[in-house]
Chains A and B, each alone.
Chain A
Amino acid sequence: MKFLPLVWHNLLRRKIRTISTLLVIVFIFTLYGYLAALSAGFSAGVDLASADRLVLIHKVSLIQLLPISYEKRIAQTEGVVDVCHFTYFGGVYQKPSNFFMQMPVVPECLFRLYPEFLMPDAQKKAWFADRTGAIVGRSLANRFGWKVGDRVPLQATIWRKKDGQITWTFTIDGIYDGATKGTDTTQFLFHYDYFDEARWVARGLVGWYVIRVDRPEHAPEVAKRLDAMFANSPEETKTTAEKAFAQAFLNQIGDIGLMIRWILGIVFFVLMFVTANTMAQSVRERTNELAVLKTLGFSNGGVLALVLLESCCLAVVGGGLGLALVTVLTSGSDPTGGLIPGFILRTRDVLTGIGFALALGFLAGVFPALRAMRLRIADALRRG
């Protein structure tokens, strides 16, 4: 600690150079924080998937529908505690770019299966009783400024109504919050019964089933049992753990994590050279002063440590400011306007960021520090 003022004063010796380097580091770590939050947003479904939930889809693909009659058979299967069905609606609100997930569901079943969806009892009660009612997540409500009682028209792209119309209008009966920070609160959910009665085609069919098993360790066994039960039927099934299902869905977009790692790898590589250049210049300018420190009794290791400490301070202060900035920006409000659920800077990403900052400080400072350490006092003093 007693050396910190010396380190700090050395850093401020060339203010413009230090501040420029610091700004670059802040910018890069802000970028890192945003990309980490983006990655978290994309993988939120995987991270938050419950170990005791299975997803059963048509064996051919997710877009193939399944009979609603499967529900009873699934419910009666050994190891199954609860089952709900979901269907993709795919409507457009005002314009196609206003994308969000819309699904007809069985309201009571939804809250049993997803206890992480929190909503006041009065709103639940109102929604259960309102066949044309819908509920929306907090992020989605904020995104479009919706409040309870608003009427929201959706233009169907798949499900035309029996009367030939494509406009489905719903009343917002409730707004749900997430029990955890990453819970998806971007969904629009409405009654399956109303949807099934009003749609033109495919009555009695659903998109997929979400199943709760009695114990997480029974999940693989129950999945096998279910698929075996529907084998050789017209609609064979494929049952996977919710986490695996979410991961497979994510993989269709691409390996977001890998892309982000590549971007960050290149950016950090460049940043290392920028910081190392600053440190190298700083040490070169202070050859005489470093020799004086050694003359006064600073050991070779001590001088090495001083330069490394300086480099690490620069990287950690810059990195810390960048991460703090992202934390503030992502905690106050969702910067994607509800487009990506779970867009948050996770604690583990902050810790990884701090690790990156320390590694950056070390790698950028190690060569100048070694140069300072190897400095021969008499030679350096002679050169002045």
Chain B
Amino acid sequence: MTDLVQVTNLHKVFRRGSERIDVLQGTNLTIPDGDFVALMGPSGSGKTTLLNLIGGLDTPTEGSVVVGDERVDRLSAGRLARWRARHIGFVFQLYNLLPVLTAAGNVELPLLLTGLRRRERKRHVETALAIVGLSDRARHYPRQLSGGEEQRVGIARAIVTDPTLLLCDEPTGDLDRKSGDEIMDLLATLNAKHGKTILMVTHDPHVAARASRVLYLDKGVLNAERTA
């Protein structure tokens, strides 16, 4: 397997007034193509920051992030936006669906940035919703869906452009055990059946156990690794 993600000597420093907070301190990480990695650690350990840096939502203070052939930390804002649209699918803890759009409308959002025609976009949306098992909920608004269903719509939105890498920030953090297990089943299927590379942040060991690898981040240092 070739490496899809290569993080080298990554530093991220935040400043709050005169206070300096070293969130990441020389983190190194390699994720092969097709891998399913869980990233664990206590609150404030830098998990989400690492996820954001890999996804190009933030820029590192030092170090490099390479995803595929792209040196992400060196891309301009415009190119970064285009790169994210093409290569990255994000899944959020609180789903972050637009309440004014239906499930189908939410899933269609990333496709608006492509050159696809309306009919083609509709077909892609139907496929994505079918994969997450929500074909019958396409016209429902987020407020009409359960938490688990909302998260599945969020996953459909993340995969609708067929991205290379899925970045999931505590995807089951707001769900009950049953719904969480369903979401994990779905992510496992996307990894095993559709070959999606997944990096998932979680606090829950039960959820992390579903990944093929678990990484531990503490005080900005990636210091342990367990292979499932």
> What's the nearest-Cβ distance from chain B to residue A298, in Å?
7
Interface-located stretch among B109-117, B203-211, B217-225: B109-117
Question: Across the interface, which residues of A come within 8 angstroms of B100, CB to CB?
Answer: 9-10, 12-13
Which of chain A's residues 91-127 have a Cβ closer than 8 Å to chain B?
none
Q: Is A5 an interface residue (CB 8 A)?
A: yes
- Could you tell me if A292 and B77 are in contact, using CB atoms closer than 8 angstroms? no
For the residues of A in contact with B, the DSSP-based class is helix
| A-B pairs with beta carbons under 8 A, tally | 69
- Could you tell me if A294 and B94 are in contact, using CB atoms closer than 8 angstroms? no
Report the interface size for chain B: residues with CB under 8 A from the other chain.
Answer: 28
Complex partner residue of B113 from A13, A292, A297, A377, CB under 8 angstroms: A297
Complex partner residue of A300 from B78, B109, B110, CB under 8 angstroms: B78
Interface-located stretch among B61-69, B83-91, B129-137, B145-153: B83-91
Question: Across the interface, which residues of A come within 8 angstroms of B96, CB to CB?
Answer: 288-289, 292, 381
With contacts A3-B112, A298-B113 taken as known, whether A378 is within 8 angstroms of B81 at the C-beta atoms is: no
B68-104 interface code vs A (CB 8 A; 1 in, 0 out): 0000000001100110111000101010101111000
> What's the nearest-Cβ distance from chain B to residue A11, in Å?
9
Which of chain A's residues 279-311 have a Cβ closer than 8 Å to chain B?
288-289, 292-302
With contacts A2-B118, A6-B101, A384-B94 taken as known, whether A293 is within 8 angstroms of B82 at the C-beta atoms is: no
Q: Is B8 an interface residue (CB 8 A)?
A: no
- Could you tell me if A2 and B78 are in contact, using CB atoms closer than 8 angstroms? no
Complex Cα distance A384/B118, Å? Answer: 31
- Could you tell me if A295 and B77 are in contact, using CB atoms closer than 8 angstroms? no
| Interface size class, chain A | 20 to 34
Complex Cα distance A299/B75, Å? Answer: 13
- Could you tell me if B82 and A296 are in contact, using CB atoms closer than 8 angstroms? no
> What's the nearest-Cβ distance from chain A to residue B94, in Å?
7
Question: Across the interface, which residues of B come within 8 angstroms of A5, CB to CB?
Answer: 105
Question: Across the interface, which residues of A come within 8 angstroms of B185, CB to CB?
Answer: none
Can you list 22 residue pairs at the A/B interface with Cβ under 8 Å? Answer: A2-B112, A6-B101, A9-B101, A9-B105, A12-B100, A293-B109, A294-B81, A295-B55, A296-B84, A296-B109, A296-B110, A296-B157, A297-B81, A297-B82, A299-B81, A299-B82, A300-B81, A301-B78, A376-B58, A378-B57, A378-B58, A381-B92
Top 8 A-B pairs ranked by shortest CB distance? Answer: A297-B85, A9-B100, A299-B81, A378-B58, A377-B57, A292-B96, A297-B84, A296-B110
